[in-house]
Amino acid sequence: MFHIGVDDTDSKSGMCTTYIAAVLIKELSKFSEVSARLIRLNPNIEWKTRGNASICLVMEAKNEEKIKGIVLQKVKELSVLENENTNPGVVFYRGEIPKEFNDFYYKCLHEIVTIREAEELARKYDAEVHKFKSGRGIIGALAAVGSDLKDHTYEIIAYRRKENWGKERNVDRASVYQMDAKTFPLTFNNVDYAEDRILITPHSPCPVFFGIRGEHPEILKQAYEMVRSEEKADVVAIYETNQGTDAHLEHVRKISDIRAYSSVILDGTVTREPGIITGGHVIFRLNNGGGSVDCAAYEPTRDFRWIASKLRVGDVVRVYGGVRADKLTVNLEKIEILKLAKLWEEKNPLCKKCGKRMESAGKDQGFRCRKCKTRLKGKIKEEIKRNLREKIYQVPPGAMRHLGKPLVRF
Ligand code: ATP
């Protein structure tokens, strides 16, 4: 098979690498069937435009020279080359994917890699690399070529006609709620019910009209037909993707094993109670083995912060989240409560005869029942009812990473 990887064609002011993929699918389908993968890479890198997406197209290895010409022409024509942060890269590779390409994909999910690493690996296996400007996009392009999708989902994306780019997206909200009611959980993250907000339309001026995520192409086609709008889409494409799979998360045993820019699953005990800092973020301290790390539920995670804020010292939890450059904070995506600490408070005793809470009988005089005058000496310890359950909690869909696995998929 012939593999085409493309990345870094867009900027915040416009374009989207997946749009170029959709245009290419249309153009290249005259040669053979084209399958398309939309691959999300390390969500913690600072220079991504939005969701760190790259794409890989796979088709029959025939007419390669013509295909390459079309791909390079479209990337040159559609990329936002005038933006200093747009540095497209294209990779062509024919044949079985070497294991090292697959390892490179995983490295790009969990770490930071250099353009040079990508170039050297491509050279070793005779993959053809095309760099535009600095060509940083070859990192994502090669990773997409090397990607395997052990767990996978699909996304159907409708793109807008050029004359509508940048204009407000008018999708009938009620139809999205109905589509969600009919197709969830085979489609997911269509609506944030707590915020009463539809999530299928982006807010950037890019060519994407809307996208629906789900378990298989058939349900996506049905869901797509249910969404109503006056605006007609230009092209529509379906991608196989690593979105919604938690592919970015890695189990780490010790806090000292955490690397900057990685995304971790880590068990530990709460050692400092949550506090709210300026901006409405909730932070608590987690300890395991010798080390400790702060865990943050940031303001955009909305009600999820109140879950984090109910944790207490001694609770045993599993946290899921991305790690900032300074390695000191885990940006929480999920919290699994493994064991709630038992908490006690001292209270006046209950009357043994009538069950009423007793009152103080005066300094050093013990307690007395107001009703029957029974007396008792000391205070009692009562367990505090915890307003949390031993289960997994997740940020709301509007605050989820593209790679984040919704609980409904567990
Ligand atoms: P969009 O989602 O809108 O397509 P984006 O968020 O994917 O945009 P890009 O403009 O593609 O952002 O920028 C990401 C850049 O980071 C690309 O050049 C890509 O090659 C590179 N990159 C991806 N993963 C890594 C990584 N792990 N280490 C270093 N660079 C990476």
On whether both 27 and 97 belong to a single domain, the answer is: yes
Per residue in 39-77, pLDDT tens?
999 999 988 888 999 999 999 989 999 999 999 999 999
Per cent of the chain over pLDDT 90 is 91
> Which of 19, 41, 248 has the most ligand 1 atoms within 8 A of CB, as the residue to mutate?
41
Structural domain count, the chain:
4
Per-residue pLDDT at 325: 76
Cβ–ligand 1 distance for 119 under 6 Å, the answer no
- Closest atom of ligand 1 to CA, residue 261: 27
Report residue 261: phi and psi, to 5°: 70, 5
Taking residues 341-356, report their average pLDDT: 93
Tell me, what CATH number does 237's domain have? 3.90.600.20
Taking residues 367-393, report their average pLDDT: 93
Per residue in 227-241, pLDDT tens?
999 999 999 999 999
Compute the distance from residue 88 Cα to the ligand 1 centre, in Å. 10
On whether both 258 and 212 belong to a single domain, the answer is: no
On whether both 23 and 135 belong to a single domain, the answer is: yes
Per-residue pLDDT at 328: 78
Beta bridge partners, 153, equal 241
On whether both 318 and 291 belong to a single domain, the answer is: yes
Whether the model pTM is above 0.85: yes
**Domain end marker among 145, 179, 214:** 145
On whether both 26 and 102 belong to a single domain, the answer is: yes
Taking residues 262-272, report their average pLDDT: 97
Compute the distance from residue 213 Cα to the ligand 1 centre, in Å. 21
What is the band of 327 on the pLDDT scale with cuts at 50, 70, 90?
low
Taking residues 22-44, report their average pLDDT: 97
Write out the residue range of the structural domain in which residue 395 sits.
Answer: 250-342+387-409
List the residue whose alpha carbon is closest to atom 16 of ligand 1: 48
- What the block records as the tokens of 9 is 């064609």
- What the block records as the tokens of 172 is 């009938």
Compute the distance from residue 223 Cα to the ligand 1 centre, in Å. 29
Compute the distance from residue 86 Cα to the ligand 1 centre, in Å. 10
List the residue whose alpha carbon is closest to atom 15 of ligand 1: 48
On whether both 157 and 42 belong to a single domain, the answer is: no
The answer for residues whose C-beta is within 8 angstroms of residue 76's C-beta and 6 or more apart is 132
97: helix, coil or strand? coil
